[in-house]
Chains A and B, each alone.
Chain A
Amino acid sequence: MATTAVSAESKNYLNAEYGIRSWLLTTDHKRIAILYLISITLMFFIGGYFALLIRLELLTPAGDLLTADMYNKAFSMHGQIMVFFFLVPSIPAVLGNFLIPMMVGAKDLAFPRINLLSWYVYIGGAAMYIWCVITGGVDTGWTFYTPYSSLFSNTHVVEACLAIFFAGFSSILTGLNFVVTVHRMRAPGMTWTRLPLFVWSHYATSIVMLLGTPVIAITLVLVILERTLNLGIFDPSRGGDPVLFQHLFWFYSHPAVYIMILPSMGVISEIVPCFSRKRVFGYTFVAMASIAIAVIGFLVWAHHMFVAGISLYSALVFSFLSYLVAVPSAIKVFNWTATMYKGSVSFSTPMLYAMGFIGLFTMGGLTGLFLACLGVDVHVHDTYFVIAHFHYIMVGGAVLGYLGGIHLWWPKISGRLYPEAWGRLAAIIVFIGFNLTFFPQFILGYLGMPRRYWDYSHMPEWQALNVLSTAGASILAVGYLLPLAYLLWSLRYGKIAGDNPWMATGLEWKTSSPPPTFNFEQTPEVTWEAYEYEKMPLPEEVTLER
């Protein structure tokens, strides 16, 4: 292509300035996205390392590889890192940061400096968390249940809470920036109904971040105060209530599930139309489903507490509402599937991830019905069934969406194509490894294997399924390392991408790759709807060799 040579040399956000200072003091949302990308990738591999320790320990029934305390720290830190330092910021802070201004046709986010601040706050939290890990770690599980966390644990609970408090603030700042940007910074003609669904889902996510995160922040502060000043809020011997903590914790942490999955749904809503060359089926319904999820998602928190001693009638209400919140997710799945109907489908890497997402998210959602079902939850609560369920949502859903999104926008971010054959191979490996890791855990859970068990020597019959799971985890690890390797490789050796290698709609593809610092040469004027694929030519088939 003639344009490729030009865009490679022209000024873009990557070569506009050089030097470490130009990165650390940047207010360019695209550079900040890259800073986030590097930091969360690091955190992901630390969290993954702990996952590996867990799976290796469970290879044999006896607690032989780690001590009990080490194991308890391993799963606690795996969960805390993956949730608070990887999944919550993942798509919003990287892809959302990079793309939302471009998708709405703006030069930057509404508050570029707050955006940079949010990264610093995140780094402050992450650094404190790593400090906590190095000095001995924390063993409360990612859930910090009181009074164990507040009165009994001898580990670094205060540091961990503070670190997460920081991470929470960075996500509040990101959410604030997105909400204001979507309201105030849209280009002329970019009406709400012309917004890409990626923007809609991030808008919904941001609302959850803004309303939910302060609650977890203050809850963790209460745990800190209880530990340091002996406040007694959660201590029953002084009139406190340990279950109150669970209400506060889940008031954020259930909606947090949607902070993690909604952005991923946004990515899928971009990938499926692009690789089916079709308008998204039922645009309005998909967009409104995001909002419905964000709203109802705030009303279901106590479904994590059906056996925690809440009253019979409140359990009924929360079970009922949990079924309601499942409906908009089902709507999305049906609409994505329908989008492929009579399309012109290509199985490129992002599409493979999207198809994987739809299937695995469906399974994650369906197994959620078991947990929302009061009578069944009594048995499977706090067993491996729950572990399997939320990994189907968080990995099968959120992480697959993240990987799909990284591949889809990699040409835009880096200006280079990744090697397609490797991409497809890695996607298939991730899919197989994932299922082998987590499907056996459904069975283990129904058999009654409780979560957070370090040693199961009295139940040797659980070993076979655990061995399968560990085998799957090692395959999954390969699937994660491959993209790391070939994406880095492509930065230097990948083919020059061109502005719009997928022939996708969306304003981000109308500017050069990588985009210039202020995104567009002149402010675009939007006269079209999102996903007008009928007006787009087919992409040159991205060939299998590099």
Chain B
Amino acid sequence: MNKLYYVCKYTPIELLEALGADCANLNEMPEGFECADQIAHPNICGFGKAVIEQVMSGQVKELVLVNCCDTIRSVYDILAESGKLDFLYMLDMLRSTGECSRERTVAQLHGLAKAYSEYRGTTFDREAFFKAFRPNPKCKGPYISILGARMGAELYDMVQKCMPYPVENDSCVNNRSVGEMLPPEDADFDGLMEWYAAELLRQLPCMRMMDNTGRRQLYNNPNLKGIIYHTVKFCDFYSFEYAQVKRDATVPLLKIESDYTLQSSGQLLTRLQAFAESIAVDWQEGTEKKMGKGYFAGIDSGSTSTDVVILDKDKNIVTGIILPTGAGAAAGAERALEEALQDAGLERGDIDAMVTTGYGRTAISEGDRSITEITCHAKGAHFLDPSVRTVIDIGGQDSKVIRLDENGAVVNFVMNDKCAAGTGRFLEMMARTMEMSLDEMSKAGLKYKEDITISSMCTVFAESEVVSLIAQNKATDDIVHGLNKAVASKTAALAKRVGGEERYMMTGGVSKNQSLVKTLEEKLGTTLVVNDKAQLCGALGAALFAMDMVERA
């Protein structure tokens, strides 16, 4: 028998089961959106596209939607036209929960019941209806809550694996509370539907409901240890709530966004692990180490360079090496470590403990443990300058801003890695367009005369803007300054999002770009600490963590 798929917690699942349906939540993340991008549009919400993909691939034959949002409405229109489904229905769920809307909901329930029983040739089975009400078990002790827009099954699995506490999925369809109460025994079908409509509407409101004040209880639970706020690209509803949660919630908060494909999960993993590191107390207990010769190493395996720092027991930097990563993270790390040992005149056996960090950290088999670059960066920056509270790291592939406390622990962070704008790659590409080296570019913007604004944020569009500025014979210095401004405002916006505070430290390759640093300082209205060891920050933090492992033993 075909499964009947649903997507929304307002779906009358119990009614459908009483009519013989086998209901399942449609929530998989596909590899990509080849088909949906074509028959819909790339810029609608990824979940909507995921539904289209699954229907078009023939996996889904029965589907009940709810007119949750503009995307789902469009998905319905497209699927209705496609003729791919045996049964497709959209409930017109109202946005207010008052008395009148209950009446309208009852009418909707009758409509659906009629349509489905005609399609299946079944009638309402009263006993099955009663049996279908099953309560949803909830976490009792400390837990972490997923809030926001729905989260795909695969991503949810990953979150569960990373977190130090049980995870409760309180997003979208997963937050269904129908089932806690049983229907009135003595009611007839009409009476049951009256009760049922009220029960459906009584649930905690979604953001698409007109009155959603009740949602606050989602983040006011005393057992709540942290919130992972998930948004879906091109869904607008939940960014509004996020703005509020960010203001009001008192527990640690991580915001992640997915586009509902499997692709970006690797990058989300780093964020999730860093978040787990920042909320758990016991994560630092790794393998305990004994003090030997008193040397400690940190390896930061980034996408462009691999850095190694070796510290002695008095926290002096014995050596710091920066090498291009090359083909593989593991081989690159091996090479960099060897070189560092040689430089310091040490042997592998002299190193008491070693910690790896960076994108390639898990690919490296050496090392006693691996810690995300976020946590390591914070630790390194704190060591270099304890007055620093905000680290801005603009690297080749990504940029991140980390807020730390007076002990160097991470308070909050954001990363931008999906789009080139605001990263070193953006500047590299623009330098290429302007036929200059990065070094030249780093000086060019300092002497600008005309204040040009590059309005496009997207790299592709920005490039054509630059080309047309060149065609207009604008001075190179002025164009470069315009580009710096674009990167600086993107970065300043990230800093605002984490509540950046003085003092700021800038790390990463781009910190060597003088004119950008100057523009960013203007944007932030403060000076940036740029340390000559800034590039080694991640590896340094890792080495310090390695030292901690031994000292505590």
Q: Do A and B come from one complex?
A: no
> Taking beta carbons and an 8 Å cutoff, which residues of B are in contact with A?
none
